[in-house]
Every structure is written in C-alpha cells, then in structure tokens.
Amino acid sequence: MEASDSQPERGIPELELALLRRGMHERDARRQGCARCRRVPLVGERVYTAKSGAVLCELCRSRESEPPAGWTLVHGPEFGHSLKLIGTRAA
C-alpha cells in the first residue's frame, strides 16, 4: 500500500472548511453585539438602544443611569420566513 493511498483527499475537507468559515464570518457580521461587553444577546432577549445610539444588552443596561431610548427583541434566523396570518374569520 502506498502512502498516498492511506491519506484521504485533502481538497474536499479544505473546501468545506473554507465555506464554513466564510458562512460564520458573514453571520457574525450581521449579528449585533452589546456596545459595552461585546456579548451577542440570545434569541428572545431584549436589547436596549441608548440615546447615543449604542446597543446594550440587559446586563449592561442595568448599569446605565439614564433610561433607554427604546428596546427591541432579538429574533432568530427564521424571523420573517414563517407563515403569517393574513386575515381572520368571524367565529
């Protein structure tokens, strides 16, 4: 048995790894983290917008003395791709 026969082809795993890394970088670029601690909030968690425009997680928001300008919920990747109720019927 030759040495080249015992090693798997390296082209396919390297391609898979490159695609995985690219996808992770793209996903991380879209995710918004806390301006103070850099933690990425979990799905369903509230994030607060300070008057300065900075986004703060719930943990860092409690350290602020000023009230937030607003808040939003963190949505999962499926948000906007699920079925929506268009109309309702009278019972």
Going by C-alpha positions, the residue among 35, 34, 55, 58 that lies closest to residue 45 is 58
Q: Which CATH number do you get for residue 18?
A: 2.10.110
What total of structural domains would you count in the chain? 1
Q: Are 33 and 39 in contact (CB under 8 A)?
A: yes
Alpha helices for the chain (secondary structure H): 3-6, 11-30, 58-61
Does residue 2 belong to any structural domain of this protein?
no
Does residue 1 belong to any structural domain of this protein?
no
Round to whole Å and give the CA distance between 36 and 65: 14
- pLDDT given for residue 52 in this prediction: 87
44-66 pLDDT, tens digit each: 889 999 888 888 998 898 888 88
Structural domain range at position 33: 8-73
Does residue 45 belong to any structural domain of this protein?
yes
pLDDT of 38 > 80? The answer is: yes
Q: Whole-model pTM above 0.85?
A: no
